[in-house]
Amino acid sequence: MAIPGSTPCPAVPLPAAGGLSFRPLAATDLDAWLALTLRIAAAEDAPWHDTRSELATCFEDTDNPAEGNTAGGFDAPGVLRAFGRVTKHPGGAAGYAFGGVDPRWQRRGIGAAVLAWQEDLLRARFAAEGQPPGTVRVYTPEANPAHTSLLSGAGYSTVRYFSEMLRTLAGAPAVPVPAGIRIVAFAPGLSEAVRLAHNEAFADHWGSEPRSIQRWGFLLANEDFRPDWSAVALDAASGEVAGYQLSMYDPERFPKEGREEGYTEVLGVRRPWRHRGIAQALLSDAMARYKAAGMDHACLDVDTENPTGALGLYEKMGYRPLRRTLAWDKAL
């Protein structure tokens, strides 16, 4: 059933491979989708995977309604064994492909068939928006040879590297708040101002697209989001948002990796307030919040070619690279 007000999606034949029956995913498939996601993550020792709340947003996304932008492959007994999803933001130059195959059903050509369907669907979506063929982008952990083989064999090239960085909270730096700036806890009343500040701060970042009100709402509704660990830097004179950091907590980290960590999901400073130490002060504030909540590590991700020099800033704050995620592109 289509979401009222959602973007119509071109009809593209669904994948056909491995003896699976494919159809669009529905909200009633959420438990099966999560179970498949967890099976894949366990077999691949994946550093991250979508949570239940993240998967649930797929059935609310009006820009990328699940009815036309997902495909689930079911075996004869009706068990979900593979999935694919694409997203594309209106007017965007890239579309994004997400997918996976049950470990017991791999090496049957299913992943390649799903990827080909995703490419066909994105070609149709670019055409439907009156745009020239754009780019398909896929993100994968670096330490996954199966993904590397599939994507390189399908004509994708690695175009960007993102480093997950970690530091212990022992001896965390106490950075003073710059003059003329107030750091306050994130609150719902600040949400829209922070969203607009985020879109402005990330306008010069590779691959970044403005966050719509709906997409921003998905972020704040994530089950891992911790508003009490998040903060906003306000200009003391004008009250404008100068910078912000939003944090997450993944309860699976401790049983899997033996540490309790606060994760900085997004950190940004608007251009007029850059080079004043606001980012460092926000990170220092975040570390204090994490430590007070019983965490022992702080974690974040960074584009290694970030134009603001974020990688060097994080290294100076004591973060060290842990592992990398690759961005793969293919021109349609």
pLDDT of residue 151: 97
Q: Which of 133-147, 181-195, 198-212, 303-317 shows the lowest mean pLDDT across its residues? A: 303-317
pLDDT digits (tens, 9 = 90+) for 140-172: 999 888 999 999 999 999 999 999 999 999 999
* Confidence (pLDDT) at 103: 96
CA end-to-end span of the chain, whole Å? 29
Q: What is the pLDDT of residues 47-73, one digit of tens each?
A: 788 999 999 999 999 999 999 999 999
All structural domains of the chain with their residue ranges = 21-155, 164-324
Q: 274-290 burial string, b = 16+ CB within 10 Å, else e?
A: bebbbbbbbbbbbbbbb
d(CA 261, CA 327): 25
| pLDDT tens sequence across 242-263 | 999 999 999 887 777 889 999 9
Structure confidence at residue 9 (pLDDT): 77
Domains 21-155 and 164-324 share a fold: yes
pLDDT confidence of residue 257: 81
At residue 123 the predicted structure's pLDDT band, cuts being 50, 70 and 90, is: very high
CATH class of 164-324: alpha beta
Residue 273 CA to residue 164 CA, distance in Å, equals 26
Q: Note the pLDDT of residue 331.
A: 98
pTM as predicted: 0.91
Fold of 21-155: Aminopeptidase (3.40.630)
Q: Region 113-136: what's the mean pLDDT?
A: 97
**E strand residue ranges, the chain:** 21-23, 70-74, 80-87, 94-101, 135-141, 157-168, 181-185, 225-235, 241-248, 261-269, 297-303, 320-331
Residue 228 confidence (pLDDT): 98
Q: What is the DSSP letter of 258?
A: S
Q: How many CB atoms lie within 10 A of CB 152?
A: 12
pLDDT for 3 beyond 70? no
Given this model, what pLDDT does residue 5 score?
56
The pLDDT assigned to 304 comes to 86
Percent of the chain predicted with pLDDT > 70:
97
Buried b (16+ CB within 10 A) or exposed e, 70-82: bbbbbbeeeebbb
Burial class (CB in 10 A: 0-12, 13-18, 19+), 293: middle
Provide the pLDDT for residue 100.
97
Ranges 9-13, 62-66, 97-101: which has the least confidence: 9-13
Tell me the pLDDT tens digit for each residue of 199-242: 999 998 888 899 999 999 999 999 999 999 999 999 999 999 99
Determine the pLDDT at residue 2: 54
- 3-class DSSP state of 135: strand
Chain mean position to CA 130: 27
Single-letter residue type at 100: G
The larger pLDDT score, comparing residue 310 to residue 105, is at: 105
pLDDT at 309: 82
